Amino acid sequence: MKSLFIFGTRPEAIKLAPLIKEFEATPDFDLEVCITAQHREMLDQVLDFFKIKPDYDLNLMKPNQNLFAITADALTGLKEVIEESKPDLIIVQGDTTTAFAGALAGFYKQIKIAHVEAGLRSNNLYSPFPEEANRLMIGQLADYHFAPTQKAFENLQSVNKQNVWDVGNTVIDALLLGLELIEDNDSSILSSFEGIDFSKRIILVTAHRRESFGEPFENICNAIRDIAEEFEACEIVFPVHLNPNVRQVVSKILSDIKNVHLIEPLDYPKFIWLINKSFLIITDSGGVQEEAPTLGKPVLVIRDETEREEGITAGTAKLVATNRESIYSSAYRLLTNEHEYNKMANAVNPYGDGTTSKQIVKILKEVYC
């Protein structure tokens, strides 16, 4: 059975890497990898880290790219790739425009499609935009749906999807594999965080969502400023996303505070090392919400809604919106109330146990071999 993995961004690469490794280790499975490189820089270092060599690279990233061009260029490029690769199965992950284009290209060529991390829903077509629509459309086109949680599984069952499995999220497989790969590199990674005092409590911040650009993003940065000023004994580490909408506001509000370290986006091994060293995480990232509880790190989610409610329900994360006061007061409680902190840190991770890739391979073997 020959599979073609199609992806274009860092989170997709991270979440597909352990599955690609599992496919490589499975005798009856032949695979090829196609990247669209919708986001180039951050993707390449993940591929290097996991030693994945793409067979096809559409190299789509352009300055000021837009959804129309990415979709059109991806579809045109993927037609040729599929014609050359001739896969039995196309595998896409998540909700990016690349994942949607990959599923649509597979559909046009009448090739079976597997969707990893299927069934997430915010139930608001315009938020997150365009991801919610991408997920719904991929859900329509896919033949095999690998849901990361019980809730995602139920979302697909409720619309009568066949071939749906609740397998957990490959992000946990990637995290555990990644930590294993960096196990002996502690001091060399530490040396790349010059000026940060790791004997202090570390607060890790990431924010990049389009839905927050503008005023909500200013509120987030002002809240971080408030936290930094109140808790001078903490180190706030903020790897700043490359998007200019993020960079301009962050440097305007946060660049002159001594315990706020604005750093370049980190490569994946350094980032998971940093999660492991953190006391608290403030983020709008989906992947980070899933990773952090495996390492017992409480997460404040700086969004108005999250399609990852399981973490909120389990108590590993708290939704604090993009309101300056609510972000500050939630952080304040966790930094001052040990009981509340421990409750979150010890809550059970609902996103999987690191066996998702193995489960997916087992299922596909039953289907194909």
Q: Which residues bind ligand UDP (CB under 6 A)?
A: 10-11, 14, 171, 206, 208, 239, 265-266, 268, 271-272, 285-288, 291
Using DSSP's 3-state secondary structure scheme, residue 123 falls into coil
Q: Is 258 left (phi over 0), alpha (psi -120 to 50) or beta?
A: alpha
Pairing of strands 280-283, 164-166: unpaired
Whether 84 is catalytic is: no
Structure tokens at 101: 């284009």
Using DSSP's 3-state secondary structure scheme, residue 57 falls into strand
Q: Cβ 178 to ligand UDP, closest distance in Å?
A: 8
Whether 208 is catalytic is: yes
Q: Cβ 328 to ligand UDP, closest distance in Å?
A: 22
Which amino acid would we find at residue 120?
L
Yes or no: say if 313 and 349 are a contact pair by the CB < 8 Å rule: no
CB closer to ligand UDP, 13 vs 111: 13
Structure tokens at 157: 């069952």
Q: Please tell me which residue in 10, 39, 121, 241 is annotated as part of the active site.
A: 241
- Measured distance CA(5)–CA(23) in Å, rounded: 11
Q: Cβ 266 to ligand UDP, closest distance in Å?
A: 4
Q: Please tell me which residue in 208, 209, 308, 324 is annotated as part of the active site.
A: 208
Which amino acid would we find at residue 110?
Q
CB closer to ligand UDP, 15 vs 161: 15
CB closer to ligand UDP, 14 vs 31: 14
Q: Please tell me which residue in 117, 143, 284, 291 is annotated as part of the active site.
A: 117
Whether 24 is catalytic is: no
**Rounded (5°) CA angle 40-44-49:** 160
- Measured distance CA(123)–CA(211) in Å, rounded: 15
- Measured distance CA(19)–CA(288) in Å, rounded: 19
CB closer to ligand UDP, 111 vs 236: 236
Which class for 348: exposed (0-12), middle (13-18), buried (19 or more C-beta within 10 A)?
exposed
CB atoms within 10 A of CB 99: 30
Q: Cβ 118 to ligand UDP, closest distance in Å?
A: 15
CB closer to ligand UDP, 265 vs 315: 265
Q: Cβ 265 to ligand UDP, closest distance in Å?
A: 4
Whether 241 is catalytic is: yes
Q: Please tell me which residue in 73, 95, 290, 291 is annotated as part of the active site.
A: 95
CB closer to ligand UDP, 112 vs 241: 241
* Catalytic (active-site) positions: 95, 117, 131, 208, 210, 241
